[in-house]
Amino acid sequence: MCGIVGYNGKKKAVDILLDGLSKLEYRGYDSAGIAIKDKNIEIFKAKGKLINLQDKIKDKNLKGTIGIGHTRWATHGEPSENNAHPHVSNNGNVTLVHNGIIENYQELIQKLEKHNYKFYSDTDTEVLTNIIDYYYNKYKIGPIDAINRTMVRVRGSYAIAVMFKDYPDEIWVARKDSPMIIGQNDDGTYVASDVPAILKYTKNVYYIDNLEAACLKKDKVIFYDLNGDVIKKEMQEIKWDVSAAEKEGYEHFMIKEIYEQPEVIKKTINSYIQDNTIDISRSNLTQEEIKDIKEIYIIACGSAYHVGVCAQYILEDLTKIPVRVEIASEFRYRKPLLNKKGLAIIISQSGETADSLAALREAKNAGIKTLGIINVVGSSIAREADHVLYTLAGPEIAVATTKAFSTQLIITYILAIEMAHVKRKINKKKYLELIKEIQTIPDKIKNILEDDTNNIQKLSSKFSYVHDAFYIGRNLDYAISLEGSLKLKEVSYIHSEAYAAGELKHGTISLIEPNTLVIGVITQDEIYEKTISNLVEVKSRGAYIITVNPNKIDVNKVADFTINIPETNKYFYPSLTVIPLQLLSYYITVSKGLDVDKPRNLAKSVTVE
């Protein structure tokens, strides 16, 4: 996922652009560049980290108050200064930055070559730049008509910010499927691909919809539809605290966000539970609609998918509604058979995940009610879903999700309890018991962080050499093992797999050898003895065993190291067991000297296929 920042106002643009790009580094990138308009448009690009770009321009006296910037994650063309954005049309009239992928770029190249256009890079973005220029010159039309003709002509996903030499006091933007947000204050107008880039400057924003464009002047923003007609937009206020996007003394964002979990979980709980009553009325999902639901489809990617796996166990057990958990990228292509009285739940932190957004649209096209569990207000999924439940995690900067995952879990608990209550699958006493217990989760997480962090940190240094790790559990313990395994592999680069404990004998146990790391999650009363038996088997083959379990479960004879967690209701253990697994991944990664916030090859939000 690339990053876009633009500014048009009273202040020096270079400072705002570089600051904004630094706030987007977490999204992943391999090069960076800016274009500043003073007397002419000056472009500076550099391969590698943003510091390389800063070094290149540190002695330049860039006074311009209008400009666009970009951090690139290579898709078309290798990481290089030549392929970095901004790109410029052949005649120098159009300067552009772009997030996304243009799928029919080869067809467009052939068209442009017939009109004597040449190409200096290997990118689809340069093609997009010249297509805008082609329509602008051929039809002698203004920026909005050139951009709209381009939007109709190209296939793929994009968010673009464009500067025209003939319109020196304006930035033009447009989007399809890639996120974009526009801000405004007394000092000017701003555009960015994510909130943290402009949160320092303004909380007053506009959300631009698919196939819409806008013109950013110094003191106002004008929006257009695909016909070129002016449309009205309501300004909205971002509620996030600016400090939430800063490290505030922590070494990394990941550990800061791990420690923020008690607070953001409590905020999320309190937003839906008041006076021992669950209230999800803001989602506009009525009790009548809940009573009518006959099947649930949970659709997500990555960690959000693991939330769905947890939710499947809880929803089915409490509501007695059949639940399927779907990987979004598979759901959108496999033509699933859907019950017209089903509910599709799409889980996404950003609300912009490409496959999840496409799956949402597939579900809507099939006539299925849709519900988004989303962290970002105004995001595409939040706007397009029939119903929305917001997590209150605040901005999450580390690539590896922690607090967003935990707040998503909480929302699924609340939804399951409410649906079970509405469908009369649980009585009032059980309803109140579950509500009371869910409100204890923030303090129990806080206790884990206070009691176990030092021991986990000491333990982690022993495993920086490990090449393979296996996470095992049953039922909800298996579901959370999936997340623990993903956390370890994505930040530490250690090969890691999660298995339902009963599957060990069906092939996986052949991989166990002396000093293999095996993490057992053991919380479920009815079946914990079976998981312990599986751990005995791997221990006899030389594995090193770490267990995560409440005190009441005796693992002394099998575990080499035990992480004890507080007791809770069986449904809520994932919220507690995930905390030690997050800490374990974090400290192993730090002990290896790796960049835990920006793991290689990964981006925060996957907004292209």
Active site residues: 2, 604
> Which of 108, 145, 396, 385 lies closest to 252 in space, CA to CA?
396
The answer to whether the beta carbons of residues 57 and 31 sit under 8 Å apart is no
The answer to whether the beta carbons of residues 6 and 67 sit under 8 Å apart is yes
Burial class (CB in 10 A: 0-12, 13-18, 19+), 504: buried
Provide the sign of the torsion angle of the four alpha carbons 537, 542, 548, 553, taken in this order.
positive
- 328, two tokens: 């979004």
Rounded to whole angstroms, how far apart are CA atoms 392 and 107?
44
The answer to whether the beta carbons of residues 204 and 183 sit under 8 Å apart is yes
Rounded to whole angstroms, how far apart are CA atoms 412 and 414?
5
DSSP-assigned letter for residue 177 = B
Provide the sign of the torsion angle of the four alpha carbons 376, 348, 160, 3, taken in this order.
positive
Rounded to whole angstroms, how far apart are CA atoms 566 and 548?
11
What number of other Cβ atoms are within 10 A of residue 495's Cβ?
14
Rounded to whole angstroms, how far apart are CA atoms 260 and 390?
17
DSSP 59-86: T-----SEEEEEEE--SSS-SSTTTSSP
Rounded to whole angstroms, how far apart are CA atoms 331 and 356?
9
Q: Checking phi first, is residue 370 left (phi over 0); if not, alpha (psi -120 to 50) or beta?
A: beta
The answer to whether the beta carbons of residues 89 and 54 sit under 8 Å apart is no
Q: Which residues contact 514 (CB under 8 A, 6 or more apart)?
A: 541, 542, 543
Burial class (CB in 10 A: 0-12, 13-18, 19+), 119: middle
In the block, residue with structure tokens 């400072």: 15
Q: What are phi and psi of 592, to 5 degrees?
A: -85, -5
The answer to whether the beta carbons of residues 101 and 120 sit under 8 Å apart is no
